[in-house]
Each structure stands twice: as structure tokens, then as C-alpha cells.
């Protein structure tokens, strides 16, 4: 089977959707095979357990953590998919067990995960606390890093639906970064080691999502965990799980993250050197903020008794209600949209806008309106 077929075969059916917390992963942790060692590493601000999972006995040590931002759960799902694979008798698994020691923290920010928030319970972004270490979760990760002394770090995140791949106007479904080690953003041996792995992941993903793999911005900030660890001479890879067509629950994107894990293990176990690594890495499309969830074009409005054609955009807001994430479309931009595309687009062809609040869209209002006399939109989507 290829990597995508394996990702589908080993998908963890008990983890779906965007809302993933300790209560979701604990039964899975308890059921991991004896190839894994699970322990409580420490506590969050609100005294929730922070778990770690260790696999393998090999010399190549990889430290991975997910949900540093509590509302970024796609890579957590992919980790458990990968755990299922590592529990199997598939080809390569026994070699991986003997080649690697994988140390994972599936949910670093359990308070944020439960609240479905980016920040922790003290309203601190843990990815801006790597140097100052003001939070217990940041201190825990630093302690694990120093004790484990990894050869590579995998910094696992989600990115918003606003990102596309520069030059293609396609969603940035998965993005990677070898972070800078200082403000010069020069490339040293540490970055090159990460780049080699990124290129292998990119080569595998290109067969499934061509032109939908992005390269994240490498501006330097010592308080960002990836930058700090690269500064400390540990090759670090930022994974960003983004948008795939109609996959707002990100249960397809998780498969591409699984593919990335698998290809990263393969390239690290092969120890092959490629001369044009940097050129291949820089040829990965830069991430670009070029998307809205909804884009409505050529809409006729009445403003101050005058008719005018406009474009406007709406974006989903994610809201936690009774343990489920609800997506509410809100109008966020009017005009100045020439360089943007929508995951959903509608051409009004000059028909009039109408809503309960007036004859033109209003920023901050829900995307419930009509175009012309018969076409109605509810939560951004057309219905009749």
C-alpha cells in the first residue's frame, strides 16, 4: 500500500472532528500496545494531566508535540493514526522500532484543548513562551526536551483556511518550515537536516495534493519554540495542517499528516544525502494569505440611493457548543478582494443584495442574505 492507503487503513475511528481533548485520547492511550510507554509528564495551569507516549528503542530520537495551541487538533488525530500503524505488523514497522525512539506529547495544552482556544488557561500563547518560560506547559516541554535530548523535533500545528500556495491559488493543505536560528535567516547544517526531511515529505505528498504544499514564513522570533530549538542546534520541523476541499473537520488532511510522518521516518532511516536540498526546499511554494471561506462577486447594492457592484467575503468562526464545534459564517471584508479566492465562490451577475438589516452587506453580520428575488444564503451557503 502507498502512504495514503496506509493512512486510510490505520485511521483512528474514535477521533474525528475538530474537538479533541484529554477525555477523547485517554481511552486510546490506555489501549496502546505494549510497544508504547505512556506516562503523565506533568500538569497544566488547571491541573489537567499532560501525557507522553514513547515508542521504539533506536538511536535516532524524535520529540513531537501537538496541540500547543489547544484548538489545533488535526496533528493529534494523525499521531494516533500513526500509533495504530506502529502497532501493526506492516512492512518497516519492526525496523522503525529498532531505528527510532519517538517521544510524543499528544496534547501539550489540555486547558486550551478543552476550551477550544489557542492560548492556555492564563491566556498565554505557548508558542510565544519558548524563551521566557512563564507557563507550566512551556516549562514541561523544555524539561522533556533537555532530558530526552532529541536529534529532531516535530512541532505540530494547524493553520487557518486563509492560506494558499503562492502562484497557484490553491489551498495550502500541508505546510512545512525549517525555522531560522537567528535574524539573518541563514541556512546552516541544523536547518539543512530539517530541510532534507521536509523535501522527502513534500515529494511524497506531491502525488496526492500537487501544488497544495506550502513553505511557512521563516521570520525569526526566539520566543517561538521552533526558532528557539533551531537556535539550540536541534533540527526542528514545523508541520501545519491546513485546508483541503470541503474538509472543514480535517479528517482528510490528517491523512496527509500521517503520510508526512511515514515519509519522514523513511528518509531518516535511509541516511541519503541529496546535493540540491536547499534548492528543492526553496522551490516549495511560499504560504500566501489569499483565501476566504466564501467569496461573493458582482453583487449589486444600493448605497446612499446609488447602485454599485461589489465583491464581499465571509469567513467561518469556530464556536464550541456542548462539546461540538459549530461553524458560523460571518461577513469580514467588502471590496479590495481582487487578489483573493474563495473556498466557495458565487457570481451574483449583477443581482441585488438583500438582508434583514439592509441592502448592502455589513462587516460582522452573519452570512444570511439573499441575492436577487430567489437565491438565498444561510450560513454562507446557497439554498432554495
Query: How many Cβ atoms sit within 10 Å of the Cβ of residue 330?
Result: 17
DSSP state of 16: -
**CA torsion sign, 266 to 268 to 269 to 270?**
positive
C-alpha distances in Å from residue 261, one per residue of 11, 154, 239, 255, 336: 14, 9, 10, 10, 39
Task: Identify the structural domains of the chain with CATH numbers, from first to last.
Answer: 3-288 (3.40.630.10), 291-383 (2.30.40.10)
Q: DSSP letter string over 112-147?
A: HHHHT-SS-TTS--GGG-TTT--SHHHHHHHHHHHH
User: For position 373, what pLDDT does the model report?
Assistant: 84
Tens-of-pLDDT digits for all 384 residues of the chain? 999 999 999 999 999 999 999 999 999 999 999 999 999 999 999 999 999 999 999 999 999 999 999 999 999 999 999 999 999 999 899 999 999 999 999 999 999 999 999 999 999 999 999 999 999 999 999 999 999 999 999 999 999 999 999 999 899 999 999 999 999 999 999 999 999 999 999 999 999 999 999 999 999 999 999 999 999 999 999 999 999 999 999 999 999 999 999 999 999 998 766 667 999 999 999 999 999 999 999 999 988 888 999 999 999 999 999 999 999 999 999 999 999 999 999 999 999 999 999 999 999 999 999 999 889 999 999 986
pTM above 0.95, yes or no: yes
Query: How many Cβ atoms sit within 10 Å of the Cβ of residue 352?
Result: 16
Q: Give the span between the Cα atoms of 63 and 93, in whole angstroms.
A: 18
Give the CA radius of gyration of the chain.
Answer: 22
**65, 105 Cβ separation under 8 angstroms:** yes
Q: Give the span between the Cα atoms of 339 and 215, in whole angstroms.
A: 19
User: For position 275, what pLDDT does the model report?
Assistant: 65
**126, 72 Cβ separation under 8 angstroms:** no
**CA torsion sign, 184 to 145 to 82 to 110?**
negative
Q: Give the span between the Cα atoms of 93 and 187, in whole angstroms.
A: 33
User: For position 305, what pLDDT does the model report?
Assistant: 82
Strands 213-215 and 174-177: parallel
Alpha carbon 96 to chain centroid, angstroms? 25
Amino acid at each position: 500500500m502507498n502512504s495514503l492507503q496506509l493512512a486510510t487503513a490505520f485511521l483512528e475511528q474514535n477521533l474525528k472532528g475538530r474537538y479533541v481533548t484529554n477525555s477523547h485520547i485517554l481511552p486510546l492511550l490506555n489501549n496502546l500496545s505494549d510497544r508504547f510507554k505512556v506516562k503523565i509528564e506533568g500538569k497544566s495551569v488547571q491541573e489537567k494531566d499532560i501525557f507522553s507516549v514513547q515508542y521504539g528503542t533506536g538511536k535516532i530520537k524524535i520529540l513531537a508535540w501537538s496541540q500547543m495551541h489547544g484548538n489545533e487538533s488535526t496533528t493529534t488525530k494523525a499521531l494516533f493514526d500513526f500509533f495504530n500503524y506502529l502497532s501493526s505488523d506492516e512492512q518497516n514497522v519492526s525496523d522503525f522500532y529498532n531505528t527510532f525512539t519517538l517521544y510524543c506529547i499528544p496534547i501539550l495544552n489540555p486547558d486550551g484543548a478543552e476550551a477550544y482556544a489557542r492560548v492556555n488557561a492564563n491566556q498565554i500563547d505557548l508558542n510565544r513562551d519558548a524563551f521566557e518560560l512563564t507557563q507550566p506547559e512551556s516549562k514541561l516541554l523544555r524539561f522533556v526536551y533537555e532530558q530526552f535530548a532529541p536529534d529532531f523535533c516535530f512541532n505540530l500545528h494547524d493553520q487557518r483556511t486563509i492560506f494558499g500556495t503562492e502562484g497557484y491559488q490553491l489551498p495550502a493543505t500541508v505546510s512545512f518550515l525549517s525555522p531560522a536560528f537567528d535574524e539573518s535567516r541563514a541556512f546552516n547544517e541544523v536547518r539543512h537536516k530539517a530541510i532534507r526531511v521536509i523535501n522527502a515529505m513534500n515529494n511524497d505528498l506531491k502525488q496526492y495534493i500537487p501544488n497544495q504544499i506550502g513553505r511557512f514564513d521563516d521570520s525569526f522570533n526566539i520566543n517561538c519554540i521552533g526558532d528557539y530549538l533551531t537556535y539550540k542546534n536541534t533540527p526542528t520541523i514545523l508541520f501545519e495542517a491546513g485546508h483541503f476541499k470541503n474538509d472543514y473537520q480535517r479528517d482528510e488532511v490528517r491523512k496527509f499528516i500521517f503520510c508526512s510522518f511515514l515519509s519522514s521516518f523513511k528518509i531518516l532511516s535511509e541516511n541519503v544525502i541529496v546535493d540540491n536540498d536547499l534548492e528543492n526546499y526553496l522551490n516549495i511554494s511560499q504560504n500566501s494569505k489569499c483565501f476566504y471561506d466564501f467569496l461573493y462577486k458582482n453583487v449589486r447594492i444600493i448605497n446612499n440611493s446609488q447602485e454599485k457592484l461589489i465583491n464581499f467575503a465571509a469567513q467561518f468562526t469556530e464556536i464550541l457548543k456542548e462539546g461540538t464545534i459549530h461553524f458560523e459564517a460571518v461577513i469580514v471584508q467588502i471590496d479590495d478582494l481582487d487578489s483573493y479566492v474563495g473556498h466557495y465562490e458565487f457570481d451574483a451577475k449583477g443581482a441585488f443584495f438583500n438582508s434583514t438589516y439592509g441592502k448592502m452587506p455589513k462587516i460582522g453580520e452573519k452570512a444570511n442574505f439573499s441575492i436577487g428575488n430567489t437565491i438565498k444564503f444561510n450560513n454562507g451557503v446557497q439554498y432554495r
